[in-house]
Structure 1
Amino acid sequence: MFIEERHKEIINLLEKNGKILVKDLSIQFEVSESMIRKDLQMLEKKNLLQRTYGGAINIKRTILNCESFFSRVEHNTVLKEMVAKKAFSQIKEDDTVFLDASSISYLLAKIIIKSNKRITLITNLFEISSIIAADSDIHFIFIGGDYNPIVGGSIGSHSIEQIKLYRCNKAFVGCSGVDLRDGTISTSVSEDANTKKTIMNISKETYLMALNNKFSIDGIFKFANITDLNSIVTEVSPDKAIIDLIEQYDINLI
């Protein structure tokens, strides 16, 4: 067995059981315990596990994100801009595009507005309304409702009823986390989850915009499964072990 194959199996075992032991892995893969320790050290450097005495545990953690919208925009801005640029490459003239309330959506909106590409732009992200030019060729539609300062946009029942009035061919959504064990995509605010689900329902294609670190984090509220997506847009190609897990869902990775 090649090292890459062994690493993939180690990650699979960790995702399944939550913890692994060096002595058990040594027996299973028929290699020395020192070799297994080197494997775990390499995987820890890639942020795929946390080593413990005699083994390792899953570092995946559940978060409740209470940061304000612009605090999130200012975190990992360079990486998020990379995602936004990749997402922009998927938008064509005359598309009808929905941008959900997320920090990467805001950066993507700035690129769209600067390009002045002729599209219809629908969004529940409040901050976009303040940056779109009055003489823009973009047909801009804002979804109103109850504003949530953490999400940065309109969410909840009033927003959902407005969203249902429209149809779009491409939706770009963010998330708090992606669980590759079962494909769960989640967020940290319950009404945001319901709103994102509605956005996806009115769109022909859905693109998830997420940094690589989202593959090691879970939100609290599920709103979709990876199988509901057309593509995942991330800043750079993830680690091979992560790619192998994504490929089982037959999803395009951009």
Structure 2
Amino acid sequence: MLAQQRQQAILDRVQQHGGVRVADLVREFGVSDMTIRRDLEVLADRGLVSKVHGGATTVGAGSTEEPGFAAKSVRQREEKEAIARRAARLVRPGTAVAVSAGTTTWTLAHHLTDVPELTVVTNSIQIADVFYRASRADQTIVLTGGIRTPSDALVGPVAVNAVRALNVDLLLLGVHGMSTRAGFTTPNLMEAETDRAMVGAARRLVVLADHTKWGTVGLSTIARLSDADVLVTDSGLGDEARKQLADEVGELIAVDPDEADE
């Protein structure tokens, strides 16, 4: 394969999944680590990707850009599955949990259908549908209602009032971005308001965010990094980011998508 063909293939993967890792590309294309890094350098110089520690991601979007549910669902699928599997282990039978909208939390919902006697509060049409299709009589689902966003979240005063009337043991929160300056963020102002209401209704906060969310800043802050009792991310997160996050969150869990869950 010529360098130009390989670079186009790498770009296709970045655009499809939102990011790539050098180690994965080395295995896939059978070339050296240095060759892949040169390819990423070429793509970054052309403004087509953003280089990050150990790989590359899509070029940073503006703080108000909000991809739809379908677009986000194809990104970092292996990472999201690993994160969801690990986060599900934090949920105890017979508890009340809130689950925010998002593709990572939607992936998590499939695992939560195996946890008995849950009460699930969600503002996500997609997540409510997962539990509806599971048809478990021992699980209670509360869908907040509200105005629908591009990410299929229900937001606005109806959703906020519904959430504020409740108290849950645990909030499982998906986010658009995270940074030391802005905390956990979303590009949607109304979604941020609903998510903040969920944070206020929960005794514990567990955030689910893959490594590509690091350094991304949405328009509105949901919570500070220090508000998170647990952050579940993946092993693609760089060492410096891990250090900064470990200093802020209660517990940092980084899962390896290549390893089977124990």
Q: Which amino acid aligns with 1:71?
A: A
Provide the C-alpha distance between the structure 2 equivalents of 1:250 and 1:97, rounded to a whole number of angstroms: 20
Q: Is the 8 A contact 1:178 1:217 kept in 2?
A: yes
| Bigger mean CA offset, 223-232 vs 200-209 | 223-232
Q: Which amino acid aligns with 2:170?
A: K
Shift of 1:239: 2.0
Structure 2 counterpart SS, 1:217: coil
Shift of 1:69: 1.1
Provide the C-alpha distance between the structure 2 equivalents of 1:244 and 1:183, rounded to a whole number of angstroms: 17
Residue 235 of structure 2 corresponds to residue 236 of structure 1: yes
Runs of at least 5 residues in structure 1 that lack an aligned partner in the other structure:
1-40, 50-58
Structure 1 counterpart SS, 2:207: strand
Provide the C-alpha distance between the structure 2 equivalents of 1:144 and 1:153, rounded to a whole number of angstroms: 9
Provide the C-alpha distance between the structure 2 equivalents of 1:251 and 1:144, rounded to a whole number of angstroms: 31
* Partner residue in 2 for 1:160: 160
Provide the C-alpha distance between the structure 1 equivalents of 2:117 and 2:233, rounded to a whole number of angstroms: 25
Q: Is the 8 A contact 2:100 2:173 kept in 1?
A: yes
Shift of 1:60: 6.8
CA, structure 1 residues 47+219, in 2 after alignment: closer, same or farther (shift >3 Å)?
Answer: farther
Residue 80 of structure 2 corresponds to residue 80 of structure 1: yes
CA, structure 1 residues 116+205, in 2 after alignment: closer, same or farther (shift >3 Å)?
Answer: closer
- TM-score scaled by length of structure 1: 0.72
Count residues in correspondence: 201
Provide the C-alpha distance between the structure 1 equivalents of 2:212 and 2:238, rounded to a whole number of angstroms: 11
Structure 2 counterpart SS, 1:67: coil
* Partner residue in 1 for 2:145: 144
Higher-Rg member (1/2): 1
Q: Which amino acid aligns with 2:88?
A: F
Structure 1 counterpart SS, 2:214: helix
Shift of 1:183: 5.3
Shift of 1:250: 4.9
CA, structure 1 residues 126+250, in 2 after alignment: closer, same or farther (shift >3 Å)?
Answer: closer
Q: Is the 8 A contact 2:178 2:184 kept in 1?
A: yes
Q: Which amino acid aligns with 1:152?
A: D
Shift of 1:177: 1.0
User: RMSD of the alignment, in Å?
Assistant: 2.3
Shift of 1:187: 0.3
* Partner residue in 1 for 2:98: 98
* Partner residue in 1 for 2:204: 205
Provide the C-alpha distance between the structure 1 equivalents of 2:230 and 2:242, rounded to a whole number of angstroms: 13
* Partner residue in 2 for 1:134: 135
Structure 2 counterpart SS, 1:218: coil
* Partner residue in 1 for 2:256: none
Structure 2 counterpart SS, 1:131: helix
1:187-224 Cα deviation digits (max 9, x unpaired): 01000010110000000000111011111211111121
Q: Is the 8 A contact 1:183 1:227 kept in 2?
A: no
Runs of at least 5 residues in structure 2 that lack an aligned partner in the other structure:
1-40, 42-50, 254-262
Provide the C-alpha distance between the structure 2 equivalents of 1:99 and 1:45, rounded to a whole number of angstroms: 30
- TM-score scaled by length of structure 2: 0.70
Q: Is the 8 A contact 1:62 1:217 kept in 2?
A: no
Shift of 1:151: 2.3
Provide the C-alpha distance between the structure 2 equivalents of 1:142 and 1:124, rounded to a whole number of angstroms: 6
